[in-house]
Amino acid sequence: MPPSPPDGADPGSLLDHAARAAGALDDLAHRLDGEAARQSVGRDALFESAAARVGGLVGPVDSLEGLAEAVNEACRAATAEVAATAERAGSMAERLGRKKQLAEEAGQLEDRSRLFKALALELRADRLVAFLQAEALQLLATAGSDRLGALSGGRYRLVCRDDEFLAVDTWNGDEERSVRTLSGGETFLASLALALALADQVRSLSVTDRARLDSLFLDEGFGTLDEETLRVVVDAIERLAGDGRLVGVITHVSDLADQFPRIEVDKSPRGSRLRLVRT
């Protein structure tokens, strides 16, 4: 701007000053217009660049200020969504942990269910009776084996497999064979061994403590025994009777009958007669 004219200047000077001022103002206006145009171009370029970077993250806007506001709003919404998602993720993780725990508990309950079903099957009346019978036979075979070993001079033992008694011949490499293959005398010894064992164990095999075997009768089979074995049998019978039991022996072998008090049967054409003989 030109300097102001002094006070009292003539009109020509004032007109000249006004013309120079007008020219200066016009020049300033042109420069301001140019700067404004450059500023406008720069803002447009900045808006286009920012809009390109933002892409479809925000809705359509028509100014840099609107874009900035939209971006700020989108940022706030994204922050809130992140917090909500984190909360949902935590809740889902807790539910997954609970699901795993429930799955483990369900597996344990299934195992218990299978166990109870198996027990229920095994404890059915027919299964239980069969089990008890099998156990009783095993106990009887064990006790009878000890008795048979003593009666046979250590030659034979007894085992029970598949509900069948087998004789173990220790003099023949522990060969196992059915008791049906034993000779008459050996069969009698095996039967006597089992009878003696049963007499000893009848209380343990019973479901009541009052059960006991007070009497035992042995019918025949003695005629197949040699003298030595017969003596062993007599000793076994005496031990069995020594426990307060009544042991009855039915026999035609006089050597055996002479060992015990007895009732003899005398037959005649007029009938049979009983006679008590004391030793």
**Residue range 95-113, pLDDT digits in tens:** 888 888 889 999 999 999 9
Residue 118 has pLDDT above 80, yes or no: yes
Would you state the pLDDT for residue 231?
A: 81
Distance CA 257, CA 275 (A): 13
pTM as predicted: 0.47
Higher pLDDT, residue 18 or 171: 171
Please, which residues bridge with residue 267 across strands?
Answer: 272
Average pLDDT of span 239-257:
78
Q: Pick the residue with more confidence: 145 or 68?
A: 145
Burial letters 57-84, b for 16+ CB under 10 A, else e: ebeebeebeebeebbeeeeeeeeeeeee
